[in-house]
Amino acid sequence: MKRIFRYILAGGIILTLQNCFLGKSKTVDPKSVAAPPVSFYSLSLKSLDGKTDLKFSDFKGKKVLIVNTASKCGYTPQYEGLQKLNDKYKDKLVILGCPCNQFAMQEPGDSSKIGEFCRSNYGVTFFMSEKLNVKGSDQHAVYRWLTSKSENGSMDATVSWNFNKFLVDAEGKLTHYFPSNIEPENAELISAIEK
């Protein structure tokens, strides 16, 4: 009986790890999505230092890539790829990094430590928000919109680990979700940006 329990437990752990790290991208044709029930442009984020409100209405006409980030994660080197995307596509793409400490406590620092880490190790110049929750009862409104079809009109999604990526098109429609294992310079992500 113990052996059967161990196999069941091991199978559950493997399935959970596959879902977290090897999840599948989701794509929705923006032509098939009507105006979202909640406008993307009604949302906002506070800056990492908490002093500035970033209004998403300022992004009209640009694509927006929103990524939940962490400084002590195996995916942390993706900051480098995100910065490269920012440099290459800055005229048509806004990148928003959203520090989160909900996955294995991999973002324990305060805002000044997070900002210093990102600048000194990866030269990050794209917008970084204050630390926020991407799931659970205290889920930030931006992530509630990103993960709930009833708000975004496009898809339901689950933030399964650090560095999940959501792409919103230039009209404020959620069109793509990319799990952690899809790196910023992945051909599928680049194609979605360039479309």
Q: How confident is the model at residue 23 (pLDDT cuts 50, 70, 90)?
A: confident
pLDDT for the residue numbered 36: 81
Inter-helix orientation angle 111-122/78-89, to 10° = 70
The answer as to whether 175 is a domain residue is yes
Q: Produce one character per residue of 110-127: b if its CB has 16 or more CB atoms within 10 Å, e if not.
A: ebeebbebbeeebebebb
pLDDT for the residue numbered 89: 98
The answer as to whether 5 is a domain residue is no
Catalytic annotation, residues: 73
Q: Are 132 and 99 in contact (CB under 8 A)?
A: yes
Digit-coded pLDDT (tens) for 146-170: 999 999 999 999 999 999 999 999 9
Q: How confident is the model at residue 16 (pLDDT cuts 50, 70, 90)?
A: very low
The answer as to whether 161 is a domain residue is yes
pLDDT for the residue numbered 8: 39
CATH number at residue 75: 3.40.30.10
In which residue are the tokens 């400084």 written? Answer: 71
Which residues does 128 contact at the CB level (< 8 Å), separation at least 6?
Answer: 47, 48, 69, 96, 97, 98, 99, 114, 115, 118
Q: Which two tokens stand for residue 69?
A: 């980030």
Question: Does residue 13 register a pLDDT over 60?
Answer: no
Digit-coded pLDDT (tens) for 74-133: 999 999 999 999 999 999 999 999 999 999 999 999 999 999 999 999 999 999 999 999
Which residue, 91, 93, 69, is CA-closest to 80? 69
Question: Does residue 64 register a pLDDT over 90?
Answer: yes
Domain of 152 in residue numbering reads as 26-194
Domains in the chain: how many in total? Answer: 1
Separation between Cα atoms, residue 172 and residue 161, nearest integer Å: 24
